[in-house]
Amino acid sequence: KLQKVKLTSSVENERDCPSENGLPEIALIGRSNVGKSSLLNMLTGGTSNALVSANPGTTRSINHYLIDAKWYIVDLPGYGYAKATEEILSWDTFVKNYFKTRQTLCGVLLLIDASIETQDKDLDYANYLIGNDIPFTIVFTKCDRKKGPNTPTVEENIEALENRLEETWHRLPSVIKTSSVSKEGRGDILKFISSIILFRRRANAEKKENKRRLKARNLKEKKYKEKAAKTKMRQRPLRKT
């Protein structure tokens, strides 16, 4: 359960992102109008103040939500908000840099609208995340939506995306079906988040322990060498003066 949600930072430029403070971060990304704000509200029980907007693409800021003083949800602007090519490229570069360099980033929720056919940009992001070994899950949104009889169903859209990913990759990412209307998938998302945070914590603890062992071994080796050198000195016959 998420008890306390606090918006700690909201910036419009990647340069102003808060410096890393060691707490784990989970980023949310998806096309504008994918249902990100609604999902955020569903996850945080309406305490995130993320606005559900009728106008696609109004969420432009990078918002850090501190959850229970232990970890962050990082709400990234939906791709597609930018209209000019230059703006699109600069946004894309920032997100990819953020994904690759942010030490505290544990994983990403890639939001994809299941009520429409997969967009190339969604596939690009999925390919990017798989190709760069960034832990993520695909969160399909709007799974409650039923469109007309001549449009593909949610299941057909999900299968089509998986088929397209299968053309390139052996292992597919996990998927979570959600609806902010019925609250389907909330528990699965929270489980995914806690498992990747735990995974990261264990990996960090292991790294720290390995570093400690290496340091201890180096110190032991240094002492041994010093002792050996002293012994050698003592054994050396004294020269007559």
The binding site for ligand GDP (CB under 6 A) comprises: 32-38, 52-54, 56, 59, 78, 141-142, 144-145, 179-181
15: left (phi over 0), alpha (psi -120 to 50) or beta: alpha
- For the bound state, the minimum distance from the C-beta of residue 141 to ligand GDP, rounded and expressed in Å, comes to 5
Let me know if 29 is exposed, middle or buried by CB neighbors in 10 A (0-12, 13-18, 19+).
Answer: buried
**Which residue is nearest to ligand GDP, using beta carbons?**
35
> Which C-beta is closer to ligand GDP: that of 160 or that of 181?
181
Nearer to ligand GDP, 59 or 137 (CB): 59
Nearer to ligand GDP, 26 or 197 (CB): 26
Sheet containing 105-113: which strands, arranged edge to edge? 5-11, 62-67, 71-75, 25-30, 105-113, 136-141, 174-177
Smallest separation, CB 211 to ligand GDP (Å): 41
Q: Which two tokens stand for residue 68?
A: 């229970």
Q: How far apart are the two ends of the chain, measured CA to CA in Å?
A: 83
DSSP 145: -
Q: By C-beta, is 143 or 197 nearer to ligand GDP?
A: 143
| CB contact at 8 A, 39 and 111 | yes
Minimum gap (Å) between residue 91 Cβ and ligand GDP = 15
What is the number of alpha carbons within 13 Å of residue 131 lying toward its C-beta?
A: 9
CB of 19 to ligand GDP, least distance (A): 26
Residue 6 beta carbon to ligand GDP: minimum distance, rounded to whole angstroms? 20
- 87 class by beta-carbon count within 10 Å (0-12 exposed, 13-18 middle, 19+ buried): exposed
State the minimum distance, in angstroms, from the CB of residue 60 to ligand GDP: 10
Choice between 7 and 23, CB closer to ligand GDP? 7
Q: Between 154 and 165, name the residue whose CB sits nearer to ligand GDP.
A: 154
